[in-house]
Amino acid sequence: MDEGTRFEGGCLCGRVRYRSERGPLESGYCHCRICQRSSGAPVLAWAAFPVETFVYVGTAPAIYRSSTHGQREFCRECGTQIAFRELSDGGTVDVNFVTLDDPERLEPQYHIWTRSWLRWFDTADRLPRYDAAGPETADD
């Protein structure tokens, strides 16, 4: 899915900024309860950037360990959730689409954790939908 050159983004107040010198490896919508609660939305759109190309510029984010396997990175001033990182893998940084300076450069490829899908919410797409973590799990 490499979309080419640099991607940049940041939080609402502008204190936490980031960039990646390479496009994302994959992207999707996450419907898990942790993403719903941490974003305050029925779904979170994310893009997985290679960790070796991703850097914060400006103020470093605050970190919240949201589960036994991952952490959320956010601005301690305005509260914008920037990213999610798996603690064991460490190969990618999952950035929230809406924090990108130009979020329309990317599109989600699939839906994950649809077992937590809120029945009153739907999207008008025909993307693959996975009950758990995604295509690599072949769970549906």
d(CA 71, CA 2): 24
Summarised one tens digit per residue, pLDDT across range 12-71 is 999 999 999 999 999 999 999 999 999 999 999 999 999 999 999 989 999 999 888 899
User: Hey, where are the domains in the chain?
Assistant: 7-135
CB contact at 8 A, 49 and 15? no
Of residues 92 and 4, the one with the higher pLDDT is 92
Q: What is the pLDDT of residue 98?
A: 95
Does 2 score more than 70 pLDDT?
Answer: no
Summarised one tens digit per residue, pLDDT across range 82-138 is 999 988 877 999 999 999 999 999 999 999 888 999 989 988 888 878 887 777 654
State both tokens at 88. 């064991």
Q: What is the pLDDT of residue 4?
A: 62
CB contact at 8 A, 81 and 96? yes
What is this structure's pTM? Answer: 0.85
Chain centroid, CA 95 distance in Å: 4
CB contact at 8 A, 132 and 114? no
- State which CATH number among 3.40.50.12780, 2.60.120.260, 2.170.150.70, 2.120.10.30 fits the domain covering 7-135: 2.170.150.70
Q: What is the pLDDT of residue 88?
A: 84
